[in-house]
Structures are given as C-alpha cells and as structure tokens.
C-alpha cells in the first residue's frame, strides 16, 4: 500500500481554536480524520504531519523525496502556512527533492492582505487549492491521485 503525506506549517495546530471566520471550526485532528477517510477510499495510507519550524518542514520534504524514490510515497499535500509567503528554503527543497506537491490554503489568500498574494511554493507545485476551507485538503489529495496514481 502506498502513502500520501499531508504536511502542515506554522500555527495550523491552532485550527478550530481561533479565527473560525477565516479558517472554520474544524481542528487539525478533524482534518487528519477527513484525509485518512479519503485515502482509505483510494487504497492509500496517510502520513499526517504539522510543524511550526521551517527546517523541520524542509526535512519532511527531503524525506518525502527519498520515500518517493523508494516507491513508498505518492506525493505531498502541503499547507505551508505563513512560510508560503517567505520561504525560499521550502521552494528549493521541493525543487531539489523533486517532490510532487499540491499546495493547499484553507482561506482564499488572494482575497486577503497583499502580502499573502505571493507564494514561493506555487511555482514548484503541481496544483493549488485555495479558499475551499478544510475540504481543500481532500480536493488536494484527489488532485494528486488524479495526476499521479496509476
Ligand atoms: O489559508 C491558509 O491555509 C493559510 O496557509 C493559513 C496561514 C496563513 O499564514 C496563510 O497566509 C494562509 C495561517 C495558519 C494559521 O492558522 C491559524 C488557525 C487558527 C487560529 C490561528 C491561526
């Protein structure tokens, strides 16, 4: 059985606890359940992670690259949080490790502050889901499967 990694960046551990108007009422644990249920439907497992630390996320992308080369991982559904708008390190990691990434944002970043309009991740993503709430994770998984599953 193959695996899909679902990777979450800084502050997403607070999901469901604050800012419900922006991010909804579901917690990250709820999102994990949704992703696992979707994965099972397609015969996949989920490797669900969150970190507030840029280097830990870089390491996770590198690990994903190794797992993909070993045929154990399909790709990564990635909500990089605020690092979306700042991290050349994550951009380089995705490119360097040749990891198929679907970038997901719960909110419509393009309808928010100008500093959220630019993404360092989008140029190296195979697809992007924006503004669909936490359902965006499931849509991102479906997109990854549609593009890559044999
Ligand atoms: O819309 C998204 O998914 C974001 O990636 C969320 C990031 C934000 O910096 C991006 O611009 C867009 C923020 C994640 C913080 O999540 C919180 C959840 C609840 C309460 C506070 C923060």
CA proximity to 98, closest of 75, 78, 129: 75
Percent of the chain having pLDDT more than 70? 99
120 included as an active-site residue: no
The reply to whether ligand 1 has any atom less than 6 angstroms from the CB of 12 is: yes
23 included as an active-site residue: yes
13 pLDDT band (50/70/90 cuts)?
very high
pLDDT at 150: 79
Q: Ligand 1 pocket test: which of 82, 101, 119, 135 has the largest number of ligand atoms within 8 Å of its C-beta?
A: 82
At residue 53's C-alpha, the angle toward residues 55 and 46, to 5°, is: 90
- The 10s digit of each residue's pLDDT in 97-147 is 999 999 999 999 999 999 999 999 999 999 999 999 999 999 999 999 999
63 pLDDT band (50/70/90 cuts)?
very high
Whole-angstrom CA distances from 134 to 28, 64, 65 are 9, 22, 25
């Amino acid at each position: 059985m193959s695996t899909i990694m679902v990777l979450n960046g800084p502050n997403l551990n607070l999901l469901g606890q604050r800012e419900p108007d922006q991010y909804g009422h579901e917690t990250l644990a709820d999102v994990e359940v949704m992703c696992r249920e979707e994965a099972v439907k397609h015969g996949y497992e989920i490797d669900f992670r969150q970190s507030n630390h840029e280097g830990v996320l870089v390491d996770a992308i590198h690990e994903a690259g190794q797992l993909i080369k070993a045929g154990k991982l399909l790709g990564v559904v990635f909500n990089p949080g605020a690092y979306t708008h700042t991290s050349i390190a994550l951009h380089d990691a995705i490119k360097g490790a040749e990891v198929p990434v679907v970038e997901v944002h719960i909110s419509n970043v393009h309808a928010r502050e100008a500093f959220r309009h630019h993404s360092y991740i989008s140029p190296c993503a195979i697809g992007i889901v924006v503004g669909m709430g936490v359902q965006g994770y499931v849509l991102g998984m479906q997109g990854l499967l549609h593009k890559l599953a044999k």
